[in-house]
Structures are given as C-alpha cells and as structure tokens.
Chains A and B, each alone.
Chain A
Amino acid sequence: MTAAYHWLFVPLTLGLALVMAIMETIYVVKKDEFWKKTAQFWVKLFAINFAVGIATGIILEFEFGTNWSNYSWFVGDMFGAPLAIEGILAFFMEATFFAVMFFGWDKVSRRFHLASTWLTGIGASISAYWILVANGWMQNPVGTTFNPDTVRSEMASAQAFWEVISNPVAVSKFFHAITSGWVTGGVFVVGVSCWYLLKKRQRKFAKASILIGSLVGIVGSFAVMLSGDSSGVHAAEFQPMKLAAAEGLQDGGKRAAFTIVPGIKIPGMLSILSTHDIDGFVPGINDILNGYTDNDGNVVPSVAEKMQRGRAALDALAQYRALKDSDPAAAAEARAVLDENVQYMGYGHLEKPEDVIPPVGVVFWAFRFMIGLGMLMLLELIVVGWLAWKDKLADKKWLLIAALCCIPLVYICGQAGWVVAEVGRQPWTIQGLLPVNVAISSLSAGAVKTTFFVFLAIFTLFLVIEIRILIGAIKKGPETPNE
C-alpha cells in the first residue's frame, strides 16, 4: 500500500524534473525571462508533489524493518548495499540541490541554479535505479547464495555483486519506471496547459509547455514500450506465473495467442512477445502447476515436487543447525541435502500447490488497463503536440477537455502497472525463496491493521491536500505575461 502511494508521487517527480530542466536550459541559453517564469511555475508544482513523495518514501524504507522483519534479515546482506548507496549517492543529491533549486533563484548564479535543477532530477533517477536493483532482485534473485550458518542470502564475490546490479530485470524495470515517469510528467504538463487554453489564458506559456511536455511524453512512451517488451521477456523467463496470470493463460503451448480482451486473440502473438519466437513455448497456469519442459529443454518440476523439495531443504537446514557443532559428518550430509534443494526452499512454506497462483483476474485486467491507457496517452500526446505546433489547438475544445481528462488516466495507467508487477508476483516477496507469509514481523494482526489504517488515513489526507494546493496553484497561474 505504501509502495503504491509512493508510486503516485514519484512518476510526476521524475517527469516534471525533466520538463523543467529543459525549460530552464532554454532560459539560460536564450536568456529570455519568459522561459524562466515558465520553468518557475513548474518548479512550484514540483515542490508540492516532492514533499509528499519524500513523506511516503521514508515510511517505505523503514517498513522493511518494522513490518517485514524476517525479510530484512534474510535479504539484508544483498538489499542493504543498494539502499545505502542510494542514500549516499542519490538522496543527498536530491535534497541539497532541491533546496538550491527552490530557494536559490536570486541567490546563486544562473548556471549553478541550472545545474541544481538537472542534478535534482538526476538524483531522483539514480535513486530509482538503486531501489529497483533491490526490487529486481526480489523478482529474480541472482548473484546470491544461501548461507545456512547465518540463515540468509549472501553475496560472495565481485562477480555476484555485478550480477545483482546488472540484473536484467532491474535494468529493464529501471527504464520502464523512469520513462513512464516521463510520460506521466508529459501528460500532466500537457493537460494543465490545455486547461489554460480552455480558459483562454496564458496562451504563449501553454503552447511552450505543451510542446516540451508532449515531446518528453512521446519519447517516454516509445521508451516505455521498448522496456516493457523486455520486461515481458524477463517475466517469461524468471516469473512465468506472473505472465500466465497477466494473460489469464490456463493452458500454455507453442504459438500461444495474445488475448486483447477475452474473446479476441492474436494467434502466436504471445509467443512472439514473450520469447521473440513464434514457436516459443509459453507455460500456462496448469503447466506451471504440473511441471513442463521450457524452451531450453530444461524440465521444470511440478509445484508439488518443488514443495516437497522445499520442505526437504527446510528440514535439512534445521538438522544442519542442530548438528553442526556436535556431529560434523551428519551436519555435512544435511548440508548436501540443503544445497541440492535450496532453490525451492520457499516452496516448503506453501500449504498447497495452488498457493503459487496470484489473483488472476486482477492481474489480467490491470495488464490490459496499463497497455490500453498507455497507447491512448501516446495518441493524445502526438495529436495535441502536433496541433499545438501548427497553432491549431486552441479552438479544439473537445480535445482540450480530453487532454485534461488524461491526467487521472495516466495515473491509473501507472498504478495498473504497479499492480501487474507487484500483485503478479504474489505469493512471493522473493521469487521462489521467501513467500509473503514468512517474510513478516511477529506482530499481532491488530497492530498491523492499526498502522495500515493510520497510514492510509494520513496519506489520503496528504493526497487530498496536495491536489487542492496543486489546483490552487494552477488556477493562480504562472507569472508569464498573459498573452
């Protein structure tokens, strides 16, 4: 929940940062006060949004410890490093240069201020990278080995560390998240500017903002598609259940069809998208439950077998820890059993094979909303951007209204994406290693519920206030001359 809320505020931060950095660059190059005022207006909106992003972000960090105690021990060795690097490299950069950007217009030189604006955005992006390294590892735990003496996953070599930070899942997630932020920022800027055109105010400002906003959004859209495509391939490879759920695919096969909406399918498309080969095999939910042979010829065991092996691993672990001081030989035997089965250890905590299936309906529809709305956003940005370029936009009232309506839609799109990624990977916090019910702290359900609703109430209050303030600031408008 906190993560979803955090993700409401972050994309706008990422996107607006780029928009205003471009505008300020134009100002510094052209030395035209108009661009300075334009940039200042968007900085103001950025600041309102940034505060709430920070507030939700800190909770997120500490929640790992407070509510996911087991998880934070289990992954601390791998997760901690990216988080610490994020803190040192990115957070200070954001915080310091944000202050310069916000307060420094009349205090520091033009160039230093411009550098600060860029660095704020770059800081935010670096921060996103490191946190997604951690998130990517949860979806595809590479580079670590389980250490029975400490009972956690550890990194052991420089190569392992490199595997963690260059994890393909993390890399494509990073680009997907950053560039979808650009789309959000672009749609937001375009929508707000269209409102001014509707009200016949600030036309010059609106046109300038629409051009830059739509450009950022369009570039972002194409990059989102590219990274989304590779995310799909990774899901097929590392999290086939997520893909099967997103497609509502009960029984898989070669030349698997892609479902646009239930009843309308494109034959073979799913195989192409997820394996880049029309004859690629895509496992469905039943295949995963019952076991199958993947495209490289490896036999993937059934979930029941994985559960059996997972239990064997857990038993061996308990045995190893009980015997390691008293009976080294027996302990070594237990260790061998553990090593053999450790990759399925998380399955040992499941009660029945069906536990590995995420809520299919939710993931299926979220996926469709994400793609459908994403396409709609791209279309909107191209049309509005083109008409603004040709000076034909101001009298297309319906289009201006549509652009305004796109602002909530782009948020739904982003949240849908979050649902696909995070609901789709249930029941795992760490794929195959640690299911959600084992990752927790030992707290009463009442305590967890209380905190949940307290934070829900607080963040909702903040969200309402933020929206009110944003609307107020937009109504007041920029300080550019009203022409």
Chain B
Amino acid sequence: MSYIFLQNYWWFLIALLGGLLVFLMFVQGANLHLGNRTLSDLQKRMILNATGRKWELTFTTLVTFGGAFFASFPLFYSTSFGGAYWVWVLILITFVFQAVSYEFQHKKENLIGSQAFRVFLMINGILAPLLIGTAVGTFFTGSDFTVNKVAITDPAAPVISTWGNGWHGLEALVNYHALLLGCSLMFLTAVLGALYILRTIDDSKIQEEMRRTVKMTLAPFLLFFLAWLVMLLLRTGYAVDEAGVITLEKFKYLHNFLQMPAVLVMFLVGVVLVLRGFILGAFTKSRHGIWPAGIGTVLVVMAVFFIAGYNSTAYYPSATDLQSSLTIRNSSSSPFTLQVMFWVSFLIPFVVAYIAYAWRQMDRKKITPDEIADTKHKY
C-alpha cells in the first residue's frame, strides 16, 4: 500500500466520521425542541428520553472523530485545536454540560434545578452545530496561523504551530462565509432532530409540532445553505502542486466538483435525499423522513470534505502564510501508523453491526406517555 493511498483512505474515513457525526447530531437538534412552549412537561420529558438513549453515541462519535483526526492528521490537531482554541473550548464546554444534563436533570439534589439542565441541553443544541459548522467552514476560507517545525529547536519560542491573533478562532464567527455553513448546520440538525422525534415518539401533539417545525425550517435552511454553496463555488481556493507548494486558484472548489464528477454526483444525490426527508416530514404522513435525510446528510458532508481535501487542495489553509497551509500530504502520520490503523479500521463494520443490533433490541417499542410515566429507568 502506498503512502498516498493510505493518506487518501484516512481522509475518506475522516469524512465518513464527520458525516456520521453530523447525522447523529440529530440529538442536539432534537433537544432544541425542549424549548417548544406548546408542549407539556411530560411531552418534553418524552423528547428528553428519546434523545437520552442516543446521546452517548453522538458523543462517542465526536470523540472518535477527534481521535481519528489526531491519529491520522496530527498536524491539524495540534494547529487547529491549539490555535482556534476558544472555538474548540466552547464546543467542549457545551458537550461537557450535555454529558451530565441527562443524568442530573430530574434528581432533586441537583442544586441548580431541572430547568437549568434543560437550558444546558438547548445551548448545546444551538452552539455545537453552529460552532462545528463554522469551524469546518474555515476549511475553505483559511485561518490565521503559521507552522514552523524548526521552532522546536528554539528554547525561547518552541511552539511549531502559532495562531496569528488573540481571538484564537473566535474571529471565524465574523467570517460570514464560514458562519453561513455553521447556521446551515444548525437548521439541518434541528430538522433531523424533529424527524427523529417523529419516528420514535407516539404522541399526536408532538407529531404535529414536529411536522410544523420541519415545514418552518425548510426555507431558512435552504437560504443559508445555498448562499454558502454559491459563495463556495465562486471563491478562490488553495491548490497544492506535486512539490507541496501552495498557490491560490480561482474557482478552485468549482473545479474540484467538475474534476471529480463522482463527488459531484454524491453531493447532488445527498442534497436530494435530504430534501426528500424534509418533504416526507413536512407534507406527508410518513414517519420515516429521518432515513433519507440522515443518509443524505452523510453523503453531503462527505462530499464537502472531499472537496476540501482531495484533488490537490489544501484542506486547512492559512490565509496568513500560504505555505503553512495543511494538506493531506503534509499533515498526516507516518506510513506505518496509517497502515496499522488501516487494519484497525476493518473493525468498524463489526462495531456498527453490534450497535445496530443493540438499537433494534431497544427500539422495538416506541416511546409512549404511559412508558415515561411508569418506568423507573428513565431520565
């Protein structure tokens, strides 16, 4: 196996994990609906228990996504996490609160009241997709950092990757192209959440509310997403040549779509599936919108990662120092490590299989008001 193949393979897996992560963020999206004022407390509790059975999987996927990035492209890990510091720390804080909010929420000894934990879940529901989406948005706009490997020999300033400004990543929130992607992702996860609730909870009022939400979110989602897409296709991108030299190329991302027709098809199929899921949820009686929308989400996100990294493109460009930009080639682990992990990655289907089995066993019964009222094993 060649080094190049392994690097591409791992970029593929990162893209796949990213896609799955965004899909699984239906948990975050569903928790947003805890703020729906027309729902009763019992109904909110049903939503809480619906996401309560899945949140660990989203969380674990996030951790694995981080771990896989660390393992396969450590220079990204050290540059982006150490540099765009505040963005990542904020994302983590919202997830930390989420992790305890289920278990603590309905315990009377929780000090700060159930409502507080419900608010934590909603903050996570807004900020996690918004910030993660914006962070991925900078894959196309570039960031303010430099990479200098010789720095480690200088005792006075030994850090290899340095960030150019004191905002440490928060500046991306005023980078409107990146922010458009963040907002699109927020609307998307809100809809995925609604579709998931539709499928899992037997309660006519909740069903009606969720269908209404999907209907209302369709327009803003399309608006933000299309605006982001058009700007992407028109913007100048970061190309890398055989020798690893980075140059600016006009319409780089449009070229990437055209030069990789398979990715273009994947992207379009994904978009169609997402829309089909929206329509099933908003305008029909079907409860299965989550499946096309979920699969579509995975395909679209993967295509976005492919556009960012394949076809001689720098996936984490530095707007400050062009040659510091990270590419799949210059930021990866050694051939041997990638190879070890190549073999390890064959365990993934096995993992997916047992998760699917466990879910089937658990989800045979839908969540009903009676169940939430009766069972002791709930959040």
Contact = CB atoms under 8 A, between A and B. Distances in A.
Interface of A: 47-48, 50-52, 54-59, 61-62, 64-81, 83-89, 91-100, 102-108, 112, 116, 147, 150-152, 154-157, 160-161, 314-315, 317-318, 321-322, 348-349, 437-438, 440-444, 447, 451, 454, 458, 461-462, 464-466, 468-469, 471-472
Contacts of A67: 82
A91 B60 contact: yes
Interface in B98-112: 99-100, 102-104, 107-112
Contacts of B377: 102-103, 105-106
Nearest to B152: A151
Contact of A318 (B103, B153, B358): B153
A72 B56 CA distance: 26
B67 A87 contact: yes
A282 B161 CA distance: 41
B281 to A, nearest CB: 25
A65 B103 contact: no
B369 interface: no
Contacts of A48: 103, 107
B118 to A, nearest CB: 15
Contact of A150 (B71, B109, B334): B334
B359 to A, nearest CB: 8
Interface string B333-376: 11011001100110110010011001001101100000000010
A52 B74 CA distance: 28
Contacts of B68: 84, 87
A50 B99 CA distance: 10
Interface of B: 53-54, 56-57, 59-60, 62-64, 66-68, 70-72, 74-75, 77-83, 85-86, 88-89, 92-93, 95-97, 99-100, 102-104, 107-112, 149-150, 152-155, 157-163, 166, 168, 333-334, 336-337, 340-341, 344-345, 347-348, 351, 354-355, 358, 361-362, 364-365, 375, 377-378
A76 B80 CA distance: 14
Contact of B99 (A54, A65, A85): A54
A52 B100 contact: yes
A98 B64 contact: no
Given A69-B160, A81-B337, A58 B95 contact: yes
B90 to A, nearest CB: 10
Indicate the member of B60, B75, B361 with the most A CB atoms within 10 Å.
B60
A-B pairs with lowest CB-CB distance, top 5: A76-B74, A65-B81, A69-B82, A80-B71, A441-B82
Given A98-B56, A99-B53, A154 B70 contact: no
B336 A70 contact: no
A472 B107 contact: yes
A441 B74 contact: no
B88 to A, nearest CB: 6
Nearest to B166: A444
B76 to A, nearest CB: 9
Contacts of A84: 64, 67-68, 70-72, 341, 344
Nearest to B110: A465
Nearest to B351: A92
B70 A83 contact: yes
Contacts of A77: 74, 333-334, 337
A104 B82 CA distance: 41
B99 A161 contact: no
Nearest to B159: A442
Contact of B96 (A156, A438, A458): A458
B111 A72 contact: no
Nearest to A82: B71
B82 to A, nearest CB: 3
A66 B162 contact: no
13 contacts: A48-B103, A51-B104, A54-B59, A55-B99, A73-B77, A80-B77, A84-B70, A89-B351, A155-B334, A160-B336, A161-B336, A440-B159, A469-B107
Nearest to A154: B334
